[in-house]
Amino acid sequence: MPEGNPVRVPDDGLTTRARRNTPVLAVHTGDGKGKSTAAFGMALRAWNAGLRVAVFQFVKSAKWKVGEEAAFGHLGRLHDEHGVGGAVEWHKMGAGWSWTRKAGSEVDHAAAAADGWAEIARRLAAQRHDFYVLDEFTYPLAWGWVDVDEVVEALTARPGHQHVVITGRNAPARLLDAADLVTEMTKVKHPMDAGRKGQKGIEW
Amino acid sequence: MPEGNPVRVPDDGLTTRARRNTPVLAVHTGDGKGKSTAAFGMALRAWNAGLRVAVFQFVKSAKWKVGEEAAFGHLGRLHDEHGVGGAVEWHKMGAGWSWTRKAGSEVDHAAAAADGWAEIARRLAAQRHDFYVLDEFTYPLAWGWVDVDEVVEALTARPGHQHVVITGRNAPARLLDAADLVTEMTKVKHPMDAGRKGQKGIEW
């Protein structure tokens, strides 16, 4: 049940306090469910701790994860109106990011993904948020839309105390190497295998 | 990115609508992080869909997952005071369940776990909630504190449309057989391996 204490103490010259306060770069990968869901669970915990949470959804469809977006909308309003928890921002690529507002549905997904990463890199440099979810970000990396080396460099060099969680299948090896926490979600059994479809409250 | 459509349609005589509305029994197991976190992420989505959420923590320490408990406390108040989302109940074994209030810390953990399951079985029969998280419930099962066959029977026969998510390592095979959705979280890399300790907003 408990995750326990560190099995060994590294010879890195850091005090326990400094080491404890090292910000986390986590990757949730694998072909199973729960990669994004666990990231949003972490974001919920971060929100509760008063951290400024920002979610960036690198997805094509604006219809995905509307339930999570709505729930974090409520959490963000609790912060804004009652001072409870942390601030929340939720951005999705959809047909262009909220800060670009490109017209129409004829958006270039590769360019949109690159725009999204460029904005995240600016925010990391500015320490704009405390807890970032880069949801489904492994896909633009895998497809070459965003340069893996540039991402690893920016993440590794990020200033201050910013946590980053990246989700998606087929995470590049260089990203896994740079991560502190890597969890692989493996599908053992899924209702869709038995012909079921997704349902409200469970799948979205 | 999308999970896609069913690969085959089963010959079970159900309409797509009936099949879609089959309640889910999910198990998150494996030695990696994210089992409980993904369950709470699912509970967040269920809450947003207006489902009545109940969490039962089969843990010895009352100090675990206080961040999640606090966050769901806020969500429950949003429901109670503003009609947003679903109702939330959060029960933890700790030094005895809230409905038993046994005195002192000299609680018998095996008896407490059995009491917890008996209460859940009553609630399932009464269709008291729509979405149950049985957190760390695999341990009392593995230790023989709660009878696996009895649990599988009660879950399989549960009436109405109640979703159940069970988390913990070493889930019994009979439980996995009965589940619709099984995900294994595998630890690939963890900061504690490098001597780090948990930190607020990330681990709790």
Residue B157 included in any domain: yes
Say which residues have a Cβ less than 8 Å from residue B108's Cβ, sequence separation at least 6: none
Which of A45, A183, A184 has the CB atom closest to B68's CB atom?
A45
pLDDT at A2: 41
Q: In chain B, what residues touch A191 (CB-CB under 8 Å)?
A: 22, 24, 180-181
Angle at B187 between CA B181 and CA B191, to 5 degrees: 140
**What is the average pLDDT score of chain A?**
85
Domain with residue B126: its CATH number is 3.40.50.300
Tokens 């507002």, located at residue: A101
Residues B127-152, mean pLDDT to the nearest whole number: 96
Q: In chain B, what residues touch A196 (CB-CB under 8 Å)?
A: 6, 19-20, 22, 180
Residue A198 included in any domain: no
Nearest chain B CA: its distance from A11 CA (Å) = 9
- Whether residue B67 contacts residue B204, with contact meaning beta carbons closer than 8 Å, is answered with yes
Residue B132 included in any domain: yes
pLDDT at B141: 96
The 3-state secondary structure of A12-63 reads CCCCHHHHHCCCCEEEEECCCCCHHHHHHHHHHHHHHCCCCEEEEECCCCCC
- Please indicate if any CB of chain A lies within 8 Å of the CB of B62: no
pTM here is: 0.83
- Please indicate if any CB of chain B lies within 8 Å of the CB of A187: yes
Q: Is the pLDDT of residue A102 over 70?
A: no
ipTM of the complex: 0.79
Lowest mean pLDDT among A18-32, A152-166, B85-99: A18-32
Q: Is the pLDDT of residue B98 over 90?
A: no
What range does the domain containing A129 cover? Answer: 17-94+108-185
Judged by CB atoms closer than 8 Å, whether chains meet at B70 and A61 is answered as no
The whole-angstrom separation of Cα A86 and Cα A70 is 16
Q: Closest Cα to residue B179, out of A194, A87, A152, A8?
A: A194
Residue B123 included in any domain: yes
Per-residue pLDDT band for A96 (boundaries 50, 70, 90) equals confident
Nearest chain B CA: its distance from A190 CA (Å) = 4
Say which residues have a Cβ less than 8 Å from residue A74's Cβ, sequence separation at least 6: B48, B75, B78, B84, B85
Residue A4 included in any domain: no
Nearest chain A CA: its distance from B97 CA (Å) = 18
Residues B21-31, mean pLDDT to the nearest whole number: 90
Judged by CB atoms closer than 8 Å, whether chains meet at A188 and B176 is answered as yes
| Contacts by residues A150-155 (CB-CB < 8 Å, ≥ 24 positions apart) | A150/A121, A151/A117, A151/A175, A152/A177, A152/A178, A154/A121, A154/A124, A154/A125, A155/A25, A155/A124
| Count of domains for chain B | 1
Q: Which residue has the higher pLDDT, A15 or A126?
A: A126
Which two structure tokens, joined as six digits, stand for B137? 């419930």
Residue B203 included in any domain: no
Residue B4 included in any domain: no
Residue B102 included in any domain: no
